[in-house]
Structure 1
Amino acid sequence: MIISHAHKFIFLKTTKTAGTAIEAALSELCGPLDVITPYREESEQDRKGLGPQNYRIEHPLKPKR
């Protein structure tokens, strides 16, 4: 989350919407009195352990040669 008093905005980060990239870009605009919360490391770790999802090497409708 970012609260920018200097630029008069509040940014609430959501998951799976490029929130971390947007938060990183917006944080560069912030002044010394603005509030910037730290990144949640555990949210990235949760996804890394899952691996591929709904992914098949051989598609069932692909003709075999």
Structure 2
Amino acid sequence: MTSSPRPRLMPPASSAPTPPRQLSMVFDSPVLQGMDPSERAIAVTQLAILLLQAAGVQRPGVADDDQ
């Protein structure tokens, strides 16, 4: 007679919810501090576009093959 393995009990769920994590990025690095306002605006715009693309948001009026 073979005995079936006993089911494993799962550990109790934590009662305290896990706080959300957030990436911390420094936007006032020495490289950005050395830029003039127009260069900084271009860099910030490009970063915003990159973040939107990573999130799957498509810019209005831009086809997939134009990117």
Q: TM-score, normalised by structure 1?
A: 0.24
Q: Compare relative contact order (CA 8 Å, sep 6+) and give the higher one, 1 or 2.
A: 1
Which has the larger helix fraction? 2
Point out the structure with max Rg over C-alpha. 2
Greater share of strand: 1
